[in-house]
Structure 1
Amino acid sequence: MATLCLASQVKGSIHKQPIPHRIGELKTSLSSTVKPFIQELEKLPMRIDVSKTIKSVTLRILDAFVDSVFQFVDQPVLPSQRNFVPVEEIGHIAQIEGIVGEIPADFPEGVYIRNGANPLWGGLKSTISVFGKSSHVWVEGEGMLHALYFSKDTNGNWSFAYNNRFVEPKTFKMEKQRNKPSYLPAVEGDSPAILAAFVLNALRFGDVNKILSNTSVFEHGGKYYSIAENYLAQEIDISSLSTLDDWDLGGAWGRPFTTHPKKAPGSGELVIMGVDAVKPYYVVGVISADGKKLIHKADVKLKRSTLAHEIGITQNQPPIDLCLLNVIELCLSHPRYLGYLVSPICDVFAFKGHFGNPIKMEHHKFAKNNFCTGSAYVSKPGGSEEDDGWIVAYVHDEDTDTSHVIVVDAKNFQGEPIAKIPLPQRVPYGHHGAYFQTPSQH
């Protein structure tokens, strides 16, 4: 990723000053930043832990330098982008009334969770400095989980509750403690500004960018995880949505973790992969069915770094053609339509019949100016026929600026939703979602 980031150049809108003038500004900033700390060092007692003191003073100098040289500014938001604007945590589990339609009695109890980018400090940022301009891109932003809980009482009456919460990896906690944006944007902008952001982030925090954990959610071994491609999975408590810890497998993995791991048919083991900008570029791993141990790890020995967002695992069939996968991904990503692919042997979006045979493709079209994200398939407990289940999706109405969840019968996918569940607050557009059934109903 570092190579890609440094290679990409986007013209900034700020006025670029001549290099000598920039150097002069930089010298002035360095002088005003370093001098107070030298004076402070002279006042320190003789008996001190030199290494800790040097490290502390160095970090304070770097922080002061960043504060004096870099200005954080909000990126502008167009009217058409208003549902990308982040929301605050609701702060409690909110009960929901006013459902339209009816949830079937055989619909499984559980929780529908969708992950997405929700920038911590009110929106995406850019920085302006003597080095130029660097900016966040739209996929950046801290992860926020949106959860809708489906519960039934002993009389079979349904109730619904909503909660949302930031995923809180270590970099999130660090910035919250500082109470201000701290990591410099390091993905898009002028090359000198991107390089400066890389170096200063690495020197101050040990990482060139924040841990976002904003892309997907999955389950393995009875535990639940939030994930993005640039770091390890974060274990979460799906009842409270609180973040528990990194899933580091005892240090055995030690590299980025795929957003879309897959359970192996039959064994229940979890197949993962991780790509990186340095060798080894692509590593595949297998985690035990109980989630406690990395039982296999192999370098695929690619000759260059290639981003791989998704993987598929088959028991008896060769992989489907990559071009076909790209077409399918394009169909499923269109926010105005739900694209539904079904299989007699699987229940998450899958393929009908054996590889190479025709694929069944259906669409569910929304009302004008309604768009969805994070749709997921919910299989019917004990179901055996094709399409035995439902599709759930988070939907936003651009005209009313309100959000809701729909439930669509997979056997009547082109028909109207069987239920529409209003949400107590707006849910910004995001990334992937999943439905986790109550364990006793698997």
Structure 2
Amino acid sequence: MVRELRQVPMQIDASRSIKNATVKILDAFVDSVFEFAHDHPLLPSQTNFAPVDELEEALLITDIEGNIPDNFQKGVYIRNGPIDPLFGGQKSTKSIFGRSSFIWVEGEGMLHDLYFTKEGDGSWNNNNRYVQTETFKLEKQRNKPSFLPAAEGDSPAILSAYLLNTLRYGKVKKEVSNTNSFKHSGKLYSIAENDIPQEIDIFTLKTCDNWDVNGSWQRPFTSHPKRAPDTAELVIMGVDAIKPFLEVGVVSADGKKLIHKVDVKLNRLIKYNGEEYARIGIMPRYGDSDSIQWFEVEPCCSLHIFKSFEDDGEVVVWGCRALDSIIPGPDMGVKNRYGYTQVVDSIASSTSGVEEDDGWIITFVHNEDSNTSQVYIIDANKFSCEPVAKITLPCRVPYGFHGAFMTI
């Protein structure tokens, strides 16, 4: 028995050695067969799609046009985005299998913030930080592009990228926490649809731990969780490529427990082709697949749902409806006439507000002629008027995805 126990560490070491040797062989194969290259250079009108470096420390804002309202709350505006890939831009590869490339929405997440305090006359600070997912840390440690792109390109190249990424890293693609930031139970999280959230220090933007709700959620996590106004619970969902294709969950108000989880029991992965049916499903917060009511609608693509609420016995859903998908894909070169998009930033509520829109919209804007970035503070009651304040930032902020204002 003692002899058998002593053999266990030797077996583990042997297994680890074989795995390390296999990875080294695969790395050597990738280095010899695949050539990484930058994507096409940016046009003059696309300069704000170029990445920026992390700041060493937060920068003090001194250039403010207009007046910051007295009833503006102490807080921070944080915006997430994918325009900051490591190693100088999005990469493509060419090999004996053909070409493959990333698309611009696959860049590593970088958070940009504007931090406002009311000490003294008030001060504004600007900072940015990468969201350090596990795959981000892996590539940074290796100090070179490592994951083979698999979004677009020749089928043999994409299939080989899937296989080699899985064999080397146990993951088909990189984890890119680049879509949204949200706050729950006093904590800030960064998120994208392909992974679980990462907790973020709201004051420094440094990445803390992954948030799996104490081990109870082990699948992708929606980029747009919704907080129930009556209980402060967080309603989440996760879509995966294998069964169960879609699960819905409810996280407790304190963020410590997954108090409800249900398999919606879809019989296939959600895919839009413009020809079959489209449905809207309504399920009670603590319901199951049998309690869902499905309503067929005209086939369409809805990238974001703006709002849903109950009104006199009816459930009202507001969303952005498009006749076709706007997700870029292999047919990016096909000529089109229209594009549809929707970006909704949260309102910074007034400390003395009464109405729903008593507050301000905060958003980053960029002037491509002067190559300067600003933050606009817009009175939500006077949306067609000039911003009440324009804050010029000391460094450029690339285009991004979703932002949120959070009181602190």
> 1:155-210 CA distances to partner (integer Å, 9 max, x unpaired)?
xx221100001000111111000000000001111000000000000000000111
In the alignment, structure 1 segments of 5+ residues that lack a partner are: 1-45, 331-371
Match of 2:320 among 323, 326, 339: 326
Matches within 5 A, 1:22-33: none
The answer on 1:282 being equivalent to 2:246 is yes
1:404 Cα deviation from its structure 2 partner: 0.5
Match of 1:58 among 17, 22, 31: 22
Q: Quick one: which amino acid aligns to residue 415 of structure 1? A: C
1:153 Cα deviation from its structure 2 partner: 1.7
SS in 2 for 1:112: strand
1:415 is matched with which residue?
385
CA distance in 1, matches of 2:407, 2:380: 17
CA distance in 1, matches of 2:322, 2:58: 36
SS in 1 for 2:106: coil
Q: Does the 8 A contact of 1:136 with 1:185 survive in 2? A: yes
Match of 2:97 among 131, 140, 162: 131
Task: Tell me the percent identity.
Answer: 57
SS in 2 for 1:391: strand
2:364 is matched with which residue?
394
Q: Quick one: which amino acid aligns to residue 78 of structure 1? A: L
The answer on 1:94 being equivalent to 2:59 is yes
CA distance in 2, matches of 1:179, 1:301: 42
1:83 is matched with which residue?
48
Q: Does the 8 A contact of 2:309 with 2:316 survive in 1? A: no
> 1:420-441 CA distances to partner (integer Å, 9 max, x unpaired)?
0010111000000000012xxx
CA distance in 2, matches of 1:250, 1:73: 40
Q: Does the 8 A contact of 1:220 with 1:270 survive in 2? A: yes
CA distance in 1, matches of 2:356, 2:237: 30
1:47 Cα deviation from its structure 2 partner: 10
> 1:228-253 CA distances to partner (integer Å, 9 max, x unpaired)?
00000000001000000100112211
1:381 Cα deviation from its structure 2 partner: 2.1
Greater mean deviation of Cα atoms: 264-273 or 301-310: 301-310
1:318 Cα deviation from its structure 2 partner: 4.0
CA distance in 2, matches of 1:273, 1:196: 30
1:406 is matched with which residue?
376
Match of 1:109 among 61, 74, 82: 74
1:52 Cα deviation from its structure 2 partner: 1.6
2:293 is matched with which residue?
none
1:336 is matched with which residue?
none
Cα distance change of structure 1 residues 64 and 158 upon mapping to structure 2, 3 Å threshold = same
2:294 is matched with which residue?
none
CA distance in 1, matches of 2:243, 2:303: 18
Q: CA RMSD in A?
A: 2.3
> 1:382-415 CA distances to partner (integer Å, 9 max, x unpaired)?
4112421111110000100110001011111100
Normalised by the size of structure 2, how large is the TM-score? 0.81
Q: Quick one: which amino acid aligns to residue 405 of structure 1? A: V
Cα distance change of structure 1 residues 83 and 163 upon mapping to structure 2, 3 Å threshold = same
Q: Quick one: which amino acid aligns to residue 136 of structure 1? A: F
The answer on 1:229 being equivalent to 2:193 is yes
Cα distance change of structure 1 residues 222 and 53 upon mapping to structure 2, 3 Å threshold = same
Q: Does the 8 A contact of 1:84 with 1:429 survive in 2? A: yes
Higher helix share: 1
1:190 is matched with which residue?
154
SS in 1 for 2:354: coil
Q: Does the 8 A contact of 1:270 with 1:289 survive in 2? A: yes
1:48 Cα deviation from its structure 2 partner: 9.6
CA distance in 2, matches of 1:200, 1:216: 29
The answer on 1:263 being equivalent to 2:242 is no
Q: Does the 8 A contact of 2:231 with 2:253 survive in 1? A: yes
Q: Does the 8 A contact of 2:304 with 2:319 survive in 1? A: no
Q: Does the 8 A contact of 2:238 with 2:248 survive in 1? A: yes
Q: Does the 8 A contact of 1:282 with 1:302 survive in 2? A: yes
1:429 is matched with which residue?
399
